[in-house]
Structure 1
Amino acid sequence: MTGGSHYTEMRRKRGITMTDTSHLPTLVTGGSGFVGSHIVRQLAAQGRKVRVLMRKTSNQEAISGLPVEIVYGDVLDPDSLRVATKGCGTVFYSVVDPRFWLTDTTPIYRNNVDGLVNAMDVALECGIQRFIFTSTMGTLGINPDGPVTEDIPFNWLDRAPPYIRARLEAENRFLAYCRDKGLPGVAMCIANTYGPDDYGPTPHNHALWEVASGKMPINFDVGQPTVDIRDAAQAALLAERHGRVGERYIIANEYVRNRDFFTMATEMCGKKPPLFLPYRLSYALAWAIEGVMKLLRRKDYLVSTDAVFLSDVFGELDSAKARRELGWNPRPLRETVRDAIAWFSEREGKH
C-alpha cells in the first residue's frame, strides 16, 4: 500500500474525511521565526485566517502589522497547543531550536522532538486536515556520486552531531505518525535559507550581509545548497495543496561555493571579496579553538569542528520532486542575494 492510500485508509478507520479547509483558521507555530513568519506573510496575503502560536517572550517584529490572531503558549505545553489548534484546518509546524552549539543538548531534543510530538498528538485529537512540517536538509543522506534525493537513506549517523540527531529523530517520529497514526502530514527538507525580512537574524543570512558590507574579511571555502526564504514559504503553501501525505520534499535551489556566493555579494556592494581559508585549514583552526575552550571549561561556543563539518557536508540537492509534484519554481540565487542585501542595508540605516 502506498503512503497516500495507507493514509486514506487510516483516516477512513478514524472516521475522518478530507474537506476544503481554506475557510478555517490556519495555525502557524514558530510564526516569529524566519521560515514561520514568511509562511504567515504569504497566508495573510492570500486572505487566509491566520493564527500564530508563540511565547510571550518571542520577538513579534517579523509579523508586526499583519492581520493575525496570536495565541500565547508553547509547543511543550499541550494545553496551549489545544487552544491554538482547535477549529483550525491546517497546521504549519515551523518550530525549530537551531542552537547546535549548546553543550547541554537537552533543550535541543525537547524543543525539536518533544514539541513536535505534542503538536502531532493535538493535531490528531483536533482532526487537523493538513500538517506541514518544516524539516531540514540535515536529515538527508549523503551522496558522494551526485545530487541528493529524498530516496537516499540517512547514512552518516556516526558523524552527525546532537543537533542533527535531534532533527533526524523528529522527522522519523513525524513519518511514523503519518504511517501508523494517520497524521495528514507532509515534510519539507529545507536548505540554507536566505533573503529579506530576517528579524532574528539567522546566523548564515546575517553572515551574507556581514561579508557583502565588508565587515567579515575572512571566510571558509565551503559550499552549500541554498533557497530563498520566500520560496521556502511558498513551498509550504504548495505542500498544503498538493503534497502527498507521508512524503518529504527537498526544498533547495542552487548549490554554491562560498567563493562564488560571497564574491557575488561583495560585487553588489562594491567591496573586495574576503580571504577564503581552505576547508582543511578551517577544520584545523576549529579543532584548536575547540580544544582551548574545553581546557578552559567554556560552554556553548560557536566555533567547533561540528560547525565546520556541517558547513560543507552537502553537495547539490535534487528538488525535482518538489518541482514536479508541488509545482514549485524558485527564483534565481542572484535575486535572493540582492534582496537580502537591500533589506539588511535598509534595516541597518534605520538603527
Structure 2
Amino acid sequence: MNVLVTGANGLLGSHVVRKLAEQKFAVRAMVREGSNRKALEGVTCVLFEGRITDKEEVERAVSGCDYVIHVAAKTSQAPSNVEAFYKTNIESTRYLIDACLRCKVKRFVFVSSANCFGNGTKSAPGNEQKPFMPWLKKSGYAYSKLLAQQMVLQEIKQQLNAVVVNPTFMIGDNDTKPSSGRIFFHVLKKPVIFYPPGGKNFVDVETAAQGVVNAMLNGKRGECYLLAGENLSYLEFFKMITGVVGQKSVFIQIPSWVLKTAGFVGDMLEKIFHIPIQLTAVNAKMLCENNFYTAQKAMNEIDFEMTPIYQSIEKTILWFRKNNYIK
C-alpha cells in the first residue's frame, strides 16, 4: 500500500513516516525543494519534492497512492489575519481533496488542530462535541484550520472517504527546526522562569503519529479524533522540565492583565506597521486559558494510547542534548 505524507520532514510528519515504514507501508514523503530532511534520515521512504500550494505538483504526488495523510501546514501564530494562511492551509487542502477524488484514493487523513473544538477544564475537558470558540477567528492559524476542516467534512458528505485528527501541543524527539520544542528553551538554564497563568494539553508526538496511522486504518469515515495527552498548567509543565534536569529555578507568574495589555499593544503594532507580531490579543488570551482536552473518543475508537508526558520531556531533552541544541 502506497501512502503519501505531506509535510513529511516536520515534527509530526517525520514520526508519521517512521510509523508507516515500521508497518511496511510504501511511503512517499512530500517535502519542499531545498528543505531540511534531517528528520527523515535513516527512514525507508521515497522523497517527492513538491509544493502543496501547486495544484499540478499535488496531483503528481497523489497519483498512484492508496492513502494520503495531509500534515503540512503553516503553524505560526503570526500574523493574525487568516489571509496569510489561506494558500498554505486552505487552498492546498482543496488541491489534495480534488486529487484524492480524481485518483480514487482509498482514504484521506486531514491533520487539523485541537483548537477547532472548544476547550475545557481538567474535570470537564474539551471534546469533539464542543464547538469552535468564536474569539479564535482572530487567530489566522486556528481559523484557517477550522475552514480547511469544514471543507473536508463537507466533501465527506459527497464522496470523499476521509477522517480528521486533531492533535494538541506535541513534544518529542526529532524536532529539527525546532518547532514546538522551543518551549523548552524558555525554561532550561533559566534561574528565573516566568510563566503564564493558563495551561494546555501536551501530547507525545510519537503517540500522536501512531494515532494518525490508526485513524487512517481504523477511523470511522467522517469522524474527528482529538489526539490529546496530559492536561497541565504551564507551571506544572515547566516544573516537570526542571525536575527532569535537576534545575533549581524561581517561578514567577505573569499576571493575565500584563499579558493581555501586551497583546493589545501587539495588535496595534501589527495594524500600524503591517508586520507579524507574536503576542497579539488572541495569543495572550490563549496563554491565560486552560486549553484542556480529552482523547477518550480516540481511545475508544482507534486504540489511541497516551504516553506519560514526563517520559516525553525526558526523551525531548535527551534528543536536544544529543543533537547539540542544548548543552
TM norm. shorter chain > 0.5: yes
Cα distance change of structure 1 residues 96 and 156 upon mapping to structure 2, 3 Å threshold: same
Query: In the alignment, which of 219, 222, 229 is matched to residue 243 of structure 1?
Result: 219
Aligned partner of residue 95 in structure 1, secondary structure: coil
Question: Counterparts of 1:27 and 1:292 in 2: how far apart (Å)?
Answer: 41
Contact 1:235 1:251 (8 Å CA) reproduced: yes
Counterpart in 1 of 2:41?
A: 64
Aligned partner of residue 141 in structure 1, secondary structure: coil
Question: Counterparts of 1:90 and 1:166 in 2: how far apart (Å)?
Answer: 23
Query: In the alignment, which of 188, 212, 235 is matched to residue 188 of structure 2?
Result: 212
Question: Counterparts of 2:248 and 2:268 in 1: how far apart (Å)?
Answer: 33
Question: Counterparts of 1:302 and 1:156 in 2: how far apart (Å)?
Answer: 20
Counterpart in 1 of 2:234?
A: 258
Counterpart in 2 of 1:299?
A: 275
Query: In the alignment, which of 94, 113, 118 is matched to residue 141 of structure 1?
Result: 118
Note the C-alpha offset of 1:245. Answer: 0.5
Counterpart in 2 of 1:177?
A: 155
Tell me the alpha carbon deviations over residues 176-225 of structure 1, each in whole angstroms, 9 at most, x when there is no partner: 01112x211110111001111101111x4221244133287323232001
Unpaired runs of 5+ residues, structure 1, are: 1-23
Question: Counterparts of 2:283 and 2:238 in 1: how far apart (Å)?
Answer: 19
Question: Counterparts of 1:113 and 1:71 in 2: how far apart (Å)?
Answer: 21
| Number of equivalenced pairs | 325
Tell me whether 158-167 or 80-89 shows the greater mean CA deviation. 158-167
Note the C-alpha offset of 1:158. Answer: 6.9
Query: In the alignment, which of 5, 10, 17 is matched to residue 33 of structure 1?
Result: 10
Query: In the alignment, which of 219, 223, 234 is matched to residue 210 of structure 2?
Result: 234
Q: Normalising to structure 2: TM-score of the pair?
A: 0.92
Counterpart in 2 of 1:282?
A: 259
Cα distance change of structure 1 residues 158 and 231 upon mapping to structure 2, 3 Å threshold: closer
Question: Counterparts of 2:312 and 2:186 in 1: how far apart (Å)?
Answer: 16
Query: In the alignment, which of 168, 171, 176 is matched to residue 191 of structure 1?
Result: 168
RMSD over aligned CA atoms reads 2.2
Tell me the alpha carbon deviations over residues 252-289 of structure 1, each in whole angstroms, 9 at most, x when there is no partner: 01110011110110122222334321223222233345
Matched residue type, 1:206: R
Note the C-alpha offset of 1:34. Answer: 1.1
Question: Counterparts of 2:146 and 2:196 in 1: how far apart (Å)?
Answer: 26
Aligned partner of residue 166 in structure 2, secondary structure: strand
**1:115 corresponds to 2:69:** no
Unpaired runs of 5+ residues, structure 2, are: none
Note the C-alpha offset of 1:82. Answer: 1.9
Contact 2:226 2:294 (8 Å CA) reproduced: yes
Contact 2:80 2:280 (8 Å CA) reproduced: no
Matched residue type, 2:220: R
- Determine what percentage of the aligned residue pairs are the same residue: 24
Contact 2:136 2:143 (8 Å CA) reproduced: no
Matched residue type, 2:146: L
Counterpart in 1 of 2:66?
A: 89
Counterpart in 2 of 1:324?
A: 300
Query: In the alignment, which of 183, 186, 200 is matched to residue 224 of structure 1?
Result: 200
Aligned partner of residue 282 in structure 2, secondary structure: helix
Question: Counterparts of 1:313 and 1:321 in 2: how far apart (Å)?
Answer: 23
Contact 1:220 1:278 (8 Å CA) reproduced: yes
Aligned partner of residue 224 in structure 1, secondary structure: strand
Note the C-alpha offset of 1:329. Answer: 0.9
Question: Counterparts of 1:320 and 1:93 in 2: how far apart (Å)?
Answer: 23
Contact 1:209 1:344 (8 Å CA) reproduced: no
Aligned partner of residue 31 in structure 1, secondary structure: coil
Note the C-alpha offset of 1:168. Answer: 0.8
Query: In the alignment, which of 85, 99, 104 is matched to residue 127 of structure 1?
Result: 104
Query: In the alignment, which of 241, 244, 266 is matched to residue 268 of structure 1?
Result: 244
Cα distance change of structure 1 residues 149 and 28 upon mapping to structure 2, 3 Å threshold: same
Tell me the alpha carbon deviations over residues 303-338 of structure 1, each in whole angstroms, 9 at most, x when there is no partner: 222222223444421211100000111111110111
Question: Counterparts of 2:50 and 2:209 in 1: how far apart (Å)?
Answer: 23
Contact 2:16 2:209 (8 Å CA) reproduced: yes
Question: Counterparts of 1:39 and 1:75 in 2: how far apart (Å)?
Answer: 18
Cα distance change of structure 1 residues 176 and 153 upon mapping to structure 2, 3 Å threshold: same
Contact 1:209 1:340 (8 Å CA) reproduced: no
